[in-house]
Structure 1
Amino acid sequence: MISNRTSNYPPLDPDAVLWSHSKADPDSDLLIMMHGWSYDERHLFALRSRLPQELTIASLRAPIAEAGGYAWFPSSGNPIGDPRPEVANAAVDAALAWYDDLPRFRSVGVMGFSQGGAMALQLMRRRPAEFAYGIQLGGFVVDDAQPGDRQLALTRPPVFWGRGAHDSVIPGSAIRRTAEFSATHLSVDERVYSDLGHDVAGQEVRDLGVFVGGMVDHARTAAEGKP
């Protein structure tokens, strides 16, 4: 396994997090959102009206300023779809440091676009028992090995993987790597949208809303002890 640390990765700014509710309710379900390169915390947060109203959403801002927005992995030295594992894992360390200061929630899901999709999968790999489900939109899996991979291969948590058929940003090699990992470690719901490029829109938004609704219903049913 490659080291999960790099010395100069900046921390997340907790004041930059967008919350769907003014006060986090530990009895609710949490969805953590992570944007892609050059975006910010407002990007995926715009989808909140398409998700269950009772869901608590926390949309994070990546800590590296680039291209008028922010990045999880700086472009220098980190090819698109193939960031250096030590950088990706340092980004995950920063996200987990923020997360560990939160109250406990009934369930926690992770969602991301592009680089943020890689972050979502990497968080699940780092803490396979912590995150109930994942959503990665136009993203990829980091090319490394994690201790949690073995548990994921056993538990196969649900992951929605949406991507555009005309996505010219994420290389084919990264998509193939992600498909191979998903097939052996996740219960993946893969959707390829014929009208999309590197974007989140249209039917994909409706489909991920249904997926998240199902995850929230499942968490509620489990908490109530129903079969």
Structure 2
Amino acid sequence: MSTPTPLDADAVLWSADPGDRDGRPLLVLLHGYGADERDLFGLVPYLPSELAVAAVRAPLAPPFPAPGYSWYPIEGLETRDPAHITAAARGLIAWTDAAAAAHRTIGLLGFSQGSAVALQAMRLEPARFAFAVNLSGYVTPGDLPRDSELAELRPPVFWGRGTNDDVIPDFLVAHTTEWLPGHVELSGRVYPGLSHSVSEQELADVRVFLDKQLAQDDGGPGSA
């Protein structure tokens, strides 16, 4: 079993000061491979103002000369080790234990690697996270002990991806397509011509999804 690497509590960007965010729903942003906490923080103006937003930094440095940080090692497109992804998800959960106790609900939004970690964390702790947004990411193959619990709770998940995304292997897209509908309340969209990136239309769809989650927020799954 891989050991989780702790997240750096000082490498987190918050959308509000502590006194302005306590008690508000929390959305945690998880960037992709080779980026850092600043990457997705630029999405804050597109997100509902009711949310407190935290952009966290992944704990690992990719091999030189790749820039930024990573959630888990990638030796090649076909060699993503599930144990590493699970360890990264446990590190995220540990961070929420320390940092998110003041928030009544927690949602996750990840891009690429960050999405894989977000979905894995939801599988490890199904009642902790109210919803997830999966942008150009995937579900890690293999069974986890609480997958059946997740299938009973069926938290909302938005999945967006582009038709021209050549980064995520086809077998992972196929696995995610098959796995998600049986375990979550799935919504989302495939964007024609979009590569491994995020578009204005996708951000608009994410905003609709998040507004819906806020409207339905009643202190259910993900409550602190």
**TM-score (norm. length: structure 2):** 0.91
- What SS does structure 2 have at the residue aligned with 1:144? coil
Which residue in 2 is equivalent to 1:120? 118
- In the aligned structure 2, how far is the partner of 1:120 from the partner of 1:134? 7
Could you tell me which of 201, 204, 207 is aligned with 1:206?
A: 204
Counterpart of 2:68 in structure 1 is: 69
| Amino acid paired to 2:137 | G
Could you tell me which amino acid in structure 2 is paired with residue 133 of structure 1?
Answer: F
1:14-72, Cα deviation, whole Å (9 max, x unpaired): 10011111116331100011001011111111111011112101111101112111101
Query: Secondary structure of 2:98's match?
Result: coil
When the two structures are aligned, how many residues end up with a matched partner? 214
Q: CA deviation at 1:202?
A: 1.6
Q: Return the offset for 1:80.
A: 3.0
Task: Identify unmatched segments of 5+ residues in structure 1.
Answer: none
Cα distance in 1 for residues equivalent to 2:5 and 2:184: 30
Unaligned runs of 5+ residues in structure 2 are 220-224
Determine if contact 1:81/1:174 at 8 Å carries over to the other structure.
Answer: no
Question: 2:179 — aligned with what?
Answer: 181
Distance 1:63 1:123 in 2: 16
Q: 1:94 to 1:166 in 2, by over 3 A?
A: same
Contact 1:81 1:170 in 2 (8 A): no
Q: Which of 6, 18, 24 pairs up with 1:28?
A: 24
Task: Name the TM-score, length of structure 1 as normaliser.
Answer: 0.90
Match of 1:101 in 2: 98
Structure-2 change in CA distance of 1:120 and 1:195 (3 Å): same
Residue type of the alignment partner of 2:200? G
Residue deviations 1:60-102 (CA, integer Å, cap 9, x gap)? 11011121111011123xx437521111111112111111112
- Distance between the aligned counterparts of 2:149 and 2:102, measured in 1? 22
Maintained 8 Å contact 1:82/1:143: no
Amino acid at match of 1:109: G
Q: Report what 2:36 is aligned to.
A: 40
Counterpart of 2:77 in structure 1 is 80
Q: Report the counterpart of residue 12 of structure 1 in structure 2.
A: 7
User: Which residue of structure 1 aligns with residue 215 of structure 2?
Assistant: 217
Q: Distance in 1 between matches of 2:10 and 2:111?
A: 21
Distance 2:11 2:158 in 1: 26
**Amino acid across the alignment from 2:57:** R
Deviation for aligned residue 1:187: 0.9
2:194 aligned partner:
196
Name the CA distance, whole Å, in 2 between partners of 1:62 and 1:72.
5
Instruction: Return structure 1 stretches of 4+ with deviation > 6 angstroms.
Output: none
Identity of aligned residues (%): 42
